[in-house]
Every structure is written in C-alpha cells, then in structure tokens.
C-alpha cells in the first residue's frame, strides 16, 4: 500500500489494451538466476510498556517526524493506520538482508523509545478497532472503494501487519528454480506458510475462530482485489489477464477527491477511455492496488505471512522461505511435499480456496498442513548452511520447528493460551516477545 506512484497531473499518452498486456508481461516478471532477496516487515506501533493503550495521532506524527531524520538503508513508510514498514534494498544474500534490516530496526526502535513507543509483531491488532492515521486522496479513495464489500477493507488498511518475502522470479526454463515452478510453488507452499506462521487469532480482544485473522481479512476483500490468478496457464499470460480484468480502485485527479468507479475493469477503461483515457502511470498505479498473496513486481512478492512476535521473529519466515525457493534441493523437496495439498485447492485461485481457508482457520492443527510444514522446515534447515546462513539463523529456525511446527502449533496458539489463562504470561506484556 506504500507503493510510490507518478504525478497524476502530468500529461501522459493513453495506453491501449494490447499495450497494457505487453507492458504487464514485460515488467512484472524479470527472469534470471535467483541472486537477490528482500523483505518488507510491517509493525504495529503501540505504547512501549502497555500496548493495549491507544496512541494519539499527534504522538505518532511527532515520533514519525523524528524517524525521518534517522539514516536507514531500508525504505521506511507509514501505512494508513499508522503501522510502520521497513522495505529492505535487494540483498545479494540472506545474511546481508538480515544484517541490513536488523540494524535498521535497532535504529527505529531507539528513536521510537524516545517517544515511549515500541513495535509490536502481530498480524492483526488484537486490541483496537480500525482508525485511519493517513488522510490522503489515495487512502480516501481506497476506503471508499473497499467499504462497498464490508468492513474488511478498513481492517486491512489500519490493523494488519505482515512479513513479506521478495524473491527473484527465477530462470526462464523448467526445473526447481524456473519461473513456472516458482510461481506455482508460491501459491501452494503459501498455504503452509500461512499455517506455520499464523499470528493473529484476536480482534477487539476476542478470539475470532481463526489462527490468522489477517488472512481472513484479506480473503474477505474479494478475489478481484485480493485474489490471485488461475494457475492453469503461463504465468505472464495469467497475470496480464488478471490485471486487465481486475476492478479499477480509483481514477486519480490533480485536485480534489479521486473518482471511485464501481465495476469498471482496467480492460473496460482502455476500451471506453472514460472518464479519461488511462496512461502508463495509471497502469502502474492500478497494479499497486491489487493485493494477491503472490504479487509479481519484476520479482515475486510473497504477502501471506503474518507479522511475527519478538524483535527477530521475522527472520525465521524469511530464512525458511528463502531456503525453500533458492536452494534447488530444498525447492524440489517443497514441490513434492505440497503437490498433494494442491488437490485441496480444487482448482480455485488463492486465497479463496479450501486449502488456504483451512490454513488460516486451523493453522498447523490441520494434520496435512502440519506434516507438510515439518518436511519443509527440515529441508530448509538442511539448505540454510548451503545458502551461507549463520548459526544464529539456523538455530532460530530449529527452535521454531521444535516449539511450534512439530507440536502442530503456531504463534497464534500462544496468544490464545494467554487469553484463556492457560499460559502464565499476560497477553498485554508478552505479545511483544
């Protein structure tokens, strides 16, 4: 949601339907050997000592003003509800990516602590209702558009946070590191990642019945905005068709509120040219308003993982995902492991299929997802040394495997235990750790 967009007041030439399809095919998948990796980590920002207390917009604005003076290698952006996001630059290795983001997070935490604020790693705010912090034409239009399908849009904008792993699209050839295989794997393994890292079972202090309420929220936004394309075709072709047939969120204006058309697809916009002909900048913006679980942006952006507890909890999903995609042996193991699970998707795109819904609702309490997760985590552990991962990273993955995956649990189960009083630690205190 923090994607930068071009100035909508500039005079640009219109694009045709054929040009849109060619542009999407060319810009969204850039193939080559997997060499770089990135991560985007989102955080809720709350009172440092008592995170249940609300933070006023004035305090957030003061804290964020000071943050803008802190030198960081990662891009720092603010989400509509005041969440913070750090987006790493492309890194040449997993180790480099972790080191860069860890250093930046240390600096961010220090700056926030001066304002008695802290970062909380959880996929859905367990205490507060949606409240918008940013009031800009983009988010005004987004809210108006998403309100048409219910309250999920406001929750997505204001109360959710994630760990998004960014990987190269892969080789222009078959095999475990090929584009087609990685695209398919991202959509099937994605359900296992949802289940293994589910960390959002609460909303307004009550259990929702879902281990990943964040994933439920995204699902409820609808397939046109937050769904993926069908997997029965070539990735570029499928994604280009999806982009063209997706509803336009808004038509930007230089002044005043943006138009929010109802039921207008980008394909129809190119054909009608109303209310004005779409431009290349409009296409770029349109793609930025689509939120599928796997979004191609030259690379593959995996968006299905809940924000994780603890200062360094984000490292485990980053490391596991990198190993299962970028190590050929682990990628082959992951492919064979999740292939039987694909039958549970019954041919429907993610996340609006039974496999993904079960992952969000039950987490690793689902026996098949648990079995697949164990196999994949073991494969990742074996692969991480081959990717040059440090011992601290492999130790963290091994600890997560033993604490959660082998037990058929996820961080959401810890939060539920604390709420029910079956864990001696208090919810408000320990949700940060």
Structure tokens at 91: 């890194």
Q: What pLDDT was estimated at residue 81? A: 97
- With CA atoms as reference, report the closest residue to 401 among 366, 425, 376, 369: 376
What is the model's pLDDT at position 162? 98
Tens of pLDDT, residue by residue over 225-244, are 999 999 989 999 999 999 99
pLDDT tier at 431 (50, 70, 90 boundaries)? low
Nearest to 316 by CA among 325, 326, 307: 307
| Percentage helix, strand, coil for the chain under 3-state DSSP, each rounded to 5 | 50, 15, 35
Strand, coil or helix: 433: coil
- CA dist 230 → 173, 221, 223, 287, 347 (Å): 20, 18, 11, 17, 8
Mean pLDDT for 414-421 is 94
What does DSSP assign to residue 349? P
Q: Give the residue among 108, 115, 158, 168 at the shortest CA–CA distance from 135.
A: 158
Give the pLDDT confidence of 173-206 residue by residue, as tens digits.
888 999 999 999 999 999 999 999 999 999 999 9
Give the pLDDT band of residue 53 (cuts 50, 70, 90).
Answer: confident
pLDDT-above-90 percentage for the chain: 88
Written as six digits, the tokens of 311 are 């200062």
| Ordered DSSP codes for 71-123 | --SSEEEE-TTS-EEEEPPPBSSHHHHHHHHHHHHHHHHHHHHTTTEEEE--S
Q: Give the span between the Cα atoms of 84 and 429, in whole angstroms.
A: 20
Among 335, 330, 338, 334, residue whose Cα is nearest residue 382: 330
């Amino acid at each position: 949601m923090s994607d930068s967009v071009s100035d909508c007041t500039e005079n640009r030439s219109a694009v045709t339907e054929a040009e849109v399809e060619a542009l999407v095919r060319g810009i969204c998948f850039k193939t080559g050997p997997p060499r770089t990796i990135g991560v985007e980590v989102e955080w809720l920002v709350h009172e440092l000592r008592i995170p249940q207390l609300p933070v006023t917009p004035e305090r957030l604005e003061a804290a964020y003003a000071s943050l803008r003076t802190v030198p960081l290698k990662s891009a720092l952006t603010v989400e509509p509800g005041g969440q913070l996001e750090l987006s790493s630059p492309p890194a040449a290795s997993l180790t480099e990516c972790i080191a860069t983001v860890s250093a930046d997070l240390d600096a961010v935490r220090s700056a926030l602590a001066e304002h008695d604020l802290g970062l909380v790693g959880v996929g859905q705010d367990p205490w507060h209702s949606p409240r918008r912090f940013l009031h800009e034409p983009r988010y005004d239009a987004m809210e108006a558009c998403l309100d048409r399908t219910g309250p999920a849009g406001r929750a997505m904008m204001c109360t959710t946070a994630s760990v998004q792993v960014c990987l190269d699209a892969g080789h222009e050839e078959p095999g475990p590191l090929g584009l087609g295989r990685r695209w398919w794997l991202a959509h099937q393994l994605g359900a296992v990642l949802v289940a293994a890292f589910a960390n959002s079972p609460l909303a307004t202090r009550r259990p929702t019945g879902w281990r990943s309420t964040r994933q439920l929220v995204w699902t409820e936004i609808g397939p046109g905005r937050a769904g993926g394309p069908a997997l029965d075709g070539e990735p570029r072709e499928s994604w280009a068709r999806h982009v063209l047939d997706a509803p336009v969120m808004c038509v930007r204006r230089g002044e005043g509120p943006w138009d929010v058309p109802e039921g207008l697809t980008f394909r129809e916009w190119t054909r009608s040219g109303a209310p004005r002909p779409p431009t290349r900048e409009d296409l770029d913006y349109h793609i930025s308003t689509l939120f599928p679980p796997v979004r191609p942006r030259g690379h593959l952006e995996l968006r299905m993982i809940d924000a994780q507890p603890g200062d360094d909890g984000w490292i485990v999903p980053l490391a596991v995902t990198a190993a299962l995609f970028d190590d050929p042996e682990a990628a082959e193991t992951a492919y064979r492991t999740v292939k039987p699970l694909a039958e549970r998707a019954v041919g429907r795109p993610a996340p609006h299929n039974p496999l993904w819904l079960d992952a969000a609702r039950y987490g690793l309490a689902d026996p098949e997802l648990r079995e697949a997760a164990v196999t994949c985590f073991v494969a990742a552990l074996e692969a991480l040394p081959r990717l040059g991962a440090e011992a601290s990273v492999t130790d963290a993955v091994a600890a997560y495997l033993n604490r959660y995956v082998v037990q058929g649990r996820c961080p959401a189960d810890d939060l539920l235990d604390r709420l029910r009083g079956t864990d001696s630690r208090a919810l408000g205190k320990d949700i940060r750790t």
